[in-house]
Amino acid sequence: EVQLVESGGGLVQPGGSLRLSCAASGFTFADYAMSWVRQTPGKGLEWVSGLSGSGDSTYYADSVKGRFTISRDNFKNTLYLQMNSLGAEDTARYYCVNSGPGYCTGGSCYRRFDYWGQGALVNVSS
Amino acid sequence: QSVLTQPPSASGTPGQRVTISCSGSSFNIGSNPVNWHQHRPGAAPKLLIYADNQRLSGVRDRFSGSRSGTSVSLAISGVQSEDEAVYYCAAWDDRLNAPVFGGGTKLTVL
d(CA B79, CA B88): 17
Beta strand B18-23 pairing with A44-51: unpaired
pLDDT bin (cut points 50, 70, 90) of residue A106 is confident
**Residue A101's CB: how many other CB atoms inside 10 A?**
11
Tell me: the pLDDT tens digits for B13-37? 999 999 999 999 999 999 999 999 9
Residue from A40, A43, A35 nearest A93 by CA: A40
Tell me: the pLDDT tens digits for A17-74? 999 999 999 999 999 999 999 998 777 899 999 999 999 999 999 999 999 999 999 9
Closest-CA distance, B79 to chain A, in angstroms, reads 23
Give Cα B23 to chain centroid, integer Å: 11
Query: How many contacts, defined by CB atoms under 8 Å, are there between A and B?
Result: 62
At A74, the amino acid letter reads N
Contacts of B33 in chain A (CB under 8 A): 105-106, 110
Judge: A43–B37 Cβ closer than 8 Å, yes or no: no
- B104: nearest CA partner in chain A: A44
Confirm if A47 and A35 have CB atoms less than 8 A apart. Answer: yes
Judge: B100–A47 Cβ closer than 8 Å, yes or no: yes
Contacts of B56 in chain A (CB under 8 A): 114
